[in-house]
Amino acid sequence: MSVRVRIAPSPTGDPHVGTAYVALFNYVFAKKHGGRFILRIEDTDRARSTAESEAAILRALRWVGLSWDEGPDIGGPCGPYRQSERGAMYKTEVAKLVESGAAYRCFCTAERLERMRAAAKGKSFVGYDGLCRGLARAESERRAAAGEAFVVRLAMPKTGQTVVADRLRGEVRFDNTQIDDQILLKSDGFPTYHLANVVDDHRMGITHVIRAEEWLTSTPKHVELYRAFDWPAPEWIHLPLLRNADKSKIAKRKNPVSLDYYRAAGFLPEALLNYLGTMGWSIAGDREKFTLAEMIEAFTFDRMSLGGPVFDLVKLAAMNADYLRALDDDDVVSRLRQWRLGDDYLRRLVPLVRQRVQRMDEFVPMTEYFFSGDLDYAALAQDLVPGNRTAKDVADCLLGLVEALDGERDFSPAALEAATRAFAEKVAWEAKELFMVVRMAATARKATPPLFETLAVLGRDVVRRRLRLCGEYLKRLR
Range 161-220, binding RNA (CB under 7 A): 168-169, 172-175, 178, 180, 183, 186-188, 190, 192-193, 213-218
Q: How far is the CB of 101 from RNA (least distance, A)?
A: 21
Binding mask 382-401 for RNA (x = CB under 7 A): --------------------
Please tell me the distance from the alpha carbon of residue 220 to that of residue 161, in angstroms, as a whole number. Answer: 9
Does residue 312 belong to the site contacting RNA (CB under 7 A)? yes
DSSP 247: S
Among residues 239 and 458, whose Cβ is nearest to RNA? 239
Position among 20, 28, 30, 151 found at the interface with RNA (CB under 7 A): 151
Among residues 62 and 253, whose Cβ is nearest to RNA? 253
Amino acid occupying residue 399: L
Kindly indicate which of the ranges 24-32, 67-75, 314-322, 447-455 contains the residues binding RNA, using the contact rule CB under 7 A.
Answer: 314-322
Instruction: Say if residues 386 and 435 touch (Cβ distance below 8 Å).
Output: no
Does residue 328 belong to the site contacting RNA (CB under 7 A)? no
Residue 428 backbone class (left: φ over 0; alpha: ψ -120 to 50; beta: rest)? left
Rg value, the chain, Cα:
26
Among residues 42 and 93, whose Cβ is nearest to RNA? 42
Among residues 213 and 396, whose Cβ is nearest to RNA? 213
Q: How far is the CB of 231 from RNA (least distance, A)?
A: 20
Kindly indicate which of the ranges 31-39, 280-288, 351-359, 390-398 contains the residues binding RNA, using the contact rule CB under 7 A.
Answer: 280-288
Give the residue from 271, 294, 97 showing the smallest Cα distance to 183. 97
Binders of RNA in range 104-143 (CB under 7 A): 108-110, 113, 117, 122, 124-128
Among residues 189 and 450, whose Cβ is nearest to RNA? 189
Please tell me the distance from the alpha carbon of residue 293 to that of residue 118, in angstroms, as a whole number. Answer: 52
Q: How far is the CB of 269 from RNA (least distance, A)?
A: 18
Give the residue from 277, 268, 266, 207 showing the smallest Cα distance to 239. 277
Position among 26, 162, 207, 278 found at the interface with RNA (CB under 7 A): 278
Kindly indicate which of the ranges 84-92, 300-308, 421-429, 444-452 contains the residues binding RNA, using the contact rule CB under 7 A.
Answer: 300-308
Position among 308, 419, 423, 464 found at the interface with RNA (CB under 7 A): 308
Give the residue from 455, 439, 450 showing the smallest Cα distance to 377. 439
Position among 247, 253, 354, 356 found at the interface with RNA (CB under 7 A): 247
Does residue 412 belong to the site contacting RNA (CB under 7 A)? no
DSSP secondary structure of 287-298? B----HHHHHHH
Among residues 169 and 392, whose Cβ is nearest to RNA? 169
**Residue 446 among the catalytic residues:** no
Does residue 144 belong to the site contacting RNA (CB under 7 A)? no
Q: Binding-site residue total for RNA (CB under 7 A)?
A: 74
Position among 51, 95, 149, 165 found at the interface with RNA (CB under 7 A): 149
Catalytic annotation, pick one of 252, 254, 315, 426: 252
Among residues 11 and 471, whose Cβ is nearest to RNA? 11
Spatial neighbors of 194 by CB under 8 A, at least 6 apart, are: 154, 182, 183, 184, 218, 221, 222, 225
Instruction: Say if residues 192 and 106 touch (Cβ distance below 8 Å).
Output: no
Does residue 431 belong to the site contacting RNA (CB under 7 A)? no
Instruction: Say if residues 384 and 440 touch (Cβ distance below 8 Å).
Output: yes
**264 Cα distance to chain centroid:** 17
Other beta carbons within 10 angstroms of residue 442's beta carbon come to: 23
Residue 45 backbone class (left: φ over 0; alpha: ψ -120 to 50; beta: rest)? beta
Could you write out the three-class secondary structure of 403-442?
A: HHHHCCCCCCHHHHHHHHHHHHHHCCCCHHHHHHHHHHHH
Q: How far is the CB of 356 from RNA (least distance, A)?
A: 31
Helix axes 87-100, 219-229, angle to 10 degrees: 80
Catalytic residues: 252
